[in-house]
Structures are given as structure tokens and as C-alpha cells.
Amino acid sequence: MGKPIPSVDTYQNVLVKHNYYRDSLELLRLSDEIKRYPGIMEASLAMGTKTNKEILIKLGFPTDHIAKAESSDMIIALRAKDEGLLLSTIPKIEAILRGTGTGGEQTQDMDHSSTNDRHDLESVLSSDKEINIALISVPGEHVKGLAFKLIDEGIHQQIFSDHVTMDDELEIKRYAMKNRVLILGPGAGTSIINGTGIGFSNAVTTGPVAIVAAAGTGLQEVSTLLDHCGIGVRHGLGVGGNDPKEKIGGLMMSEAFKMLEECEDIDVINIVSKPPAASVKQNIIDHATKHGKKKYVMTFIGSNASMENTKVKKVSSARRLTGQSHKIIIANTLTSSVFATAKHIANINKSESSINPIYVKIEDLKRIIMTERKRLRNEQKYLRALYTGGTFAYETQVILNGLAIRPLYSNAPLTKAQLLQEATKSFKNSVIDLGEEEFTKGRAHPMIDPTIRKLRINEEASYDDVAVIVLDFVLGYGSNPDPVGSVIDEIRNAKLMASKAKRHLSVVAHVCGTRRDPQGYDRSLTRLKDAGVVVLPTNAFAAIAAAGIVAKRPLDFREAYLRFIGEIHQGELT
Amino acid sequence: MTNTQKKLLDSDLRVINIGMTIFYDALKVQNIKVVQVDWKPGPVLDKLSEEILSKIM
């Protein structure tokens, strides 16, 4: 570590510890703890990945030490009010790090988890034969060996880890099928089993719906919106985004269907996925039509057009959800999926469907959009969507493309032509998935760590041509303890900055969560509204609102609702 | 190796959490039986070494 560098009224320093690994989540928690020390203005502990180095430089730390760090090195960057405080904090950090120890050092629970009760894998496997599921969140290159060992023990698995190759995934899943083990993931952040949330999940009511999802935040959105409609979810199985691709062939989707078909208390199975490979899609539909005993809602986000090439019997399109009674419904957004499921349940119960808590009347949405549009200056033309949930980023692009919001770019685009040149630099209308690999290597997921989004809100708000920033807030187990509170100052500052430049910056958001989630659903909504944010009940409504704000021509709301909401209340059809 | 499928959907969960303790905490809050494994990264073999080892072992 070099001499502390004085800046304007502050001192800062950067220490690089070579070949020193700590989990990104532990480093995030330690960073937050150090930031609370009196006189410490910024503290960031991170592995030396490209993304982390860029963030530290954006936070104003000197580049020379940071640039030399490798991804296996840990960087400690500190900024304090005075030199003495800076120097005295470093040994404290070192002591905490030694306490968490590797290589024979003493173990101390640094990350404030409630567990001081850690075990080694072998002793757990040999002593506890009742374990029926493992939740795995280790770096991707270590997953295969671990998964095979657990399959040999007959233990089902939810693999949260990213960066597992498709070859490894296929090997793991084939071996699991031979041994009658269910593999959820890799890349599966969310599951619900018998009403218990595993990974990123919400406190939802248990009920007659099961969800099979290849889209994690998609599962969260559908289960929470159903909860708002008074409909419970008993099981939600996240099979990972690669499962419905040609190479994996939907292996675990098929396993999940078989298991769920045997559950007597399930009436509706809802499948949530980006459009699967054609062969996988046909297999899913064949399964449901030939062997399925349940009602099915197939939510292939944005895929209505391509259904023409799939052999489907008795399938209603999302355009004609009302009054149908067939076994399968196809929906193309998460919102239309929920409305379709609510209809199924209402038909089964011979009751009225209860979607009012999450429905926005056309006239209300029009009014919101007009209020925002009137306040914009002519040069404010573009939207910037900064998503922590990958499924939301995808769904929003489907809607924006469908409503002709162009040009549109993304770091996780629907088509190659819409690929953003640099994920860290928005261009015209941009939808950013902050959970993509370029942002998460060596860092906690943005649903936990708000740092990248905070910096990005500030940056987007500084551009004269930006009209609207779109945000998602995902509540629930595993997420940041206060997703709204962690960025509310940045939202207020962004609006203030725009106001000083004689602009109105529109911010549109939706909160994915339930009233029983630990972060407080209503409190989250209130704080956003108090900060001047337009809050909509679902991501699809938020995307349509944002589209309406930047659209060059007024939206055809009837068409937009028919295509992406799947529901228009009576009296709104004219 | 076992050929017996452990029950999952219709039975009480008993979870082993390998990795981020935030997920352990989330399960504890829901009163689920969970054990935390103290996992640290071991060596990762490159493809060639892995192939050689798989042949000789």
C-alpha cells in the first residue's frame, strides 16, 4: 500500500492483496460495515475483476494500483476525512479478514449471517441422510464436481451459480436423470417448494398454481402478481435459462412436469420462459396435450408470432383470453400470464377473476403518460431502463419493439442488431440487464449490491436527451434488505440535477414483491411515489408507460393492451 | 450411488446450503432445516490435466 493520497478535504488509499479470495457477498457486507465507521467516506472491498476495477475508478480511486490487480487479487479501497483515520482503519480490516480465514486460520463469522454453525461437506453428507435438496452458489467452475457428488447421494439441487458451461450443464443433467435427481439451474436464482422460497423468492400464499420457470425474475413476478390477486403458488421450479435451449433439450422442464402432474393439489401449471427452441416448445406442448391432466398456461415471453410454426391443438392466443376453457393458454408477457392464470382459477372455482389490484385502466395510464410528456423538453427523446431482473429487461424489450420504440439497444438484446457496443455506455433507447456476466463477475448480483445501478442512475440523469429512466425493485428473501432505500437518494439527486438544468426527468418503476416480504411492499411504493416516481403494478404496465412517454406518435392503447396485457376491462374497448 | 429418488415436493425440506450465507439466512427465517457448508475454492484443473487424470484414475 502506498502513502495515503490527499484529495480535496479527503485522504484515500488502495491496497491490493495478491491471490486472496473472498466471496463477493462477504466483501459487500464488509464494505458496508466499514462505510459505517465514523469518518470513513467510501469503502470498497472487491475482487480485481474488470467490472470491479472500472467501478472503483468511477468511484474516484487512483487507477495505478487498481489497474495492476488480477481477478484473483482482492482490492481494498478506502476514502476518509483524515489521514490518521485512514491508517487506523486498515489494520482493522486486515484483522477482520484474518478472522474469516482460509489456510488454517481461525474462523469467525464476518458476514453477520446468523450461522456460526458451518460444516464441511463430507461430514454433513455422511451424518445427515435426511437432506433432500442442496442450494449451490459457488463460482461456476467448481459446480460440476460438486453436483456429481451430490447426485451420487441422491440429493436434488438448485444451482444458483452462473458461468457453468453448457457442456457441463448437459453432463450434470443427464447424470441426474439417470439417478432420478432434479437439477434446478445452473443460473436458477429462484424456486418455491411447498410454499418455501429458495434463493431469491417472495413470501407468497400457498395455493393451486405451480410454475416451471426458465426465467428467475419471471417466476418472482408471476408468483407475486398472483399473490396480489389472492391466488397462491405451491411450487415454483426454476430450471435455469439454458434448459429450454436446443442443446439441453428441456431435460429438467420435462422432469418438473412429471413431478408436478403427480401433485393432487395443483390445478394449473404455468410455464415461464423466453421462447424455447422449436423442438423443446413442441415437446412441451405435446406433453401438455397428450399426457397433461392439469390446465397449462404457457408464457413464452414475446413469442406469439412464432407459435404459427408449432403444432398446437386447442390453443387460445393471448389475444383471446376471455371466456376460453381449453387445456392450454399461450401468453406472451408475465402480466398476461397472470391474468390468464387468474381466469383459469376463476373458471375452476366458478367465481369472478380478481385481477383488479394489478390492473391499470387505459384512461389512467393515458393520464400518467400525458402528465409526464407535457413536462419534457423537445430534446428529451430517449429512455434508459436499468434492470436488476433479467426477465424484466427481456420483457421490456419485447414490448418496446412491439410498440416501435426505436432505435433500441441492449447488452442482452433480442436480436444481434440491437446489441449495445459497450454495456457500460447507453446509446439512444437502451435497456440494460445489470445481472449479465459483464456486471457480475466477482461481484454480488445487482439485486443484492446496488452500487453499479447507483452510479448508472447518476450518469443517465446527466444526459440532456434522456426523458425517462425505468427501474425494477425486487423484494423478497435473498434480495437487498432495502432495495428502494438503497437507491432513493440517487433517484432524488437525479431529479434534482435535471431540475437545475431546467429539465424534468421522468422515472418509472415497478416493485416485484408481496405485502409479507421482509422489505415492506407498501413502504417501498410510498417512498418511490414521495420521490416523484411513477409506480406501476407490473413490469409490462411500466414498459408501456415508458414507451408512451418517449413515443414519437401517441400509442394505440387498445392495441398495446391486446398485445401485451391480454386483458381489457369492459367499457374500455371503444 | 443411490437409485432411490428422495422425496421433494410432498415432504419437509431439509437443505444443505453451499455458498452464499444470505440464502441460509433466508431459509432460517422461514423455519426450514438448513445446514451451512463452509466452502472454499479448491484447485480448478485445466481441461488437459482433467483428461489425463481421468485416464489414469
Would residue A168 count as lying in a domain?
Answer: no
Domain C-terminal end among A66, A100, A134: A100
Confidence band (pLDDT; 50, 70, 90) for B5?
Answer: low
**Contact status of B54 with chain A (Cβ, < 8 Å):** no
Query: Chain-wide mean pLDDT for chain A?
Result: 88
pLDDT for the residue numbered A8:
60
- Per DSSP bridges, beta strands A328-331 and A295-300 are parallel
Q: Which residues of A touch B2 (CB under 8 A)?
A: 152-154, 179
**Contact status of B53 with chain A (Cβ, < 8 Å):** no
- Low-confidence stretches of chain A (pLDDT < 70) are 1-8, 100-117, 304-326, 570-574
Q: How far apart are CA A60 and CA A70, in angstroms?
A: 19
Would residue A544 count as lying in a domain?
Answer: yes
The verdict on A369 and A428 lying in the same domain is: yes
Q: Look up the domain containing A29 and give its range.
A: 5-100
pLDDT for the residue numbered A7:
62
The verdict on A381 and A495 lying in the same domain is: yes
Would residue B6 count as lying in a domain?
Answer: no
Interface contacts (A, B; CB < 8 Å): 150
Would residue B26 count as lying in a domain?
Answer: yes
The verdict on A404 and A453 lying in the same domain is: yes
Task: Give how many domains chain B has, as a whole number.
Answer: 1
Please tell me whether the interface predicted TM-score (ipTM) of this complex is above 0.85.
no
The verdict on A347 and A385 lying in the same domain is: no
Would residue B3 count as lying in a domain?
Answer: no
* C-beta separation of A357 from A537 below 8 A: yes
Partner A, chain B 1-30, Cβ-Cβ below 8 Å? 1-30
Instruction: Tell me the pLDDT tens digit for each residue of A272-314.
Output: 999 999 999 999 988 888 888 999 999 999 976 433 344 443 3
Mention every residue, 6+ apart, whose C-beta is less than 8 A from residue A476.
A197, A200, A201, A202, A203, A220, A224, A512, A513, A514, A517, A518, A519
Would residue A214 count as lying in a domain?
Answer: yes
The number of residues in chain A equals 574
Residue of A113, A133, A135 with shortest CB distance to B8: A133
Do B11 and A132 count as a contact with CB atoms less than 8 A apart?
Answer: yes
3-state percent breakdown (helix, strand, coil) of chain A, nearest 5? 40, 20, 40
Q: How far apart are CA A27 and CA A443, in angstroms?
A: 9
The verdict on A394 and A476 lying in the same domain is: yes
Residue of A111, A135, A201 with shortest CB distance to B18: A135
pLDDT for the residue numbered A440:
84
* C-beta separation of A176 from A200 below 8 A: no
Residue of B5, B6, B23 with shortest CB distance to A137: B23
Would residue A551 count as lying in a domain?
Answer: yes
Would residue B9 count as lying in a domain?
Answer: no
Residue whose C-alpha is closest to residue A469's, from A394, A386, A572, A347? A386
Q: What CA–CA distances, in Å, run from A500 to A180, A301, A382, A549, A558?
A: 62, 40, 19, 21, 37
Q: What CA–CA distances, in Å, run from A63 to A18, A54, A59?
A: 17, 9, 11
* C-beta separation of A262 from A253 below 8 A: no
Domain C-terminal end among A100, A120, A139: A100
CATH number, domain with residue A24? 3.30.70
Task: Give how many domains chain A has, as a whole number.
Answer: 3
The verdict on A345 and A370 lying in the same domain is: no
- Per DSSP bridges, beta strands A328-331 and A506-512 are unpaired
Would residue A272 count as lying in a domain?
Answer: yes
Domain C-terminal end among A54, A72, A100: A100
Would residue B35 count as lying in a domain?
Answer: yes
Residue found by looking up cell 484515500 in the block:
A12
CA dihedral A312, A315, A319, A325 (to 10 degrees): 180
The verdict on A198 and A51 lying in the same domain is: no
Would residue A122 count as lying in a domain?
Answer: no
Q: How far apart are CA A457 and CA A102, in angstroms?
A: 37
Would residue B5 count as lying in a domain?
Answer: no
Would residue B8 count as lying in a domain?
Answer: no
Would residue A205 count as lying in a domain?
Answer: yes
The verdict on A482 and A412 lying in the same domain is: yes
Q: How far apart are CA B51 and CA A304, in angstroms?
A: 45
Intra-chain end-to-end CA distance of chain B, in Å: 18
Distance from CA of B27 to the nearest CA of A (A): 7
Could you give the 3-state DSSP secondary structure of residue A164?
Answer: coil
Q: What is the DSSP string of B24-38?
A: HHHHHHTT-EEEEE-
Show the beta-strand stretches assigned E in A98-224. Answer: 118-119, 133-136, 156-159, 183-184, 190-193, 196-199, 209-213
B17-35 CB burial, b ≥16 within 10 A, e <16: bbbbbbbbbbbbeeebebb
Would residue B45 count as lying in a domain?
Answer: yes
pLDDT at B48 over 80: no
Q: Look up the domain containing B41 and give its range.
A: 14-56
The verdict on A345 and A371 lying in the same domain is: no
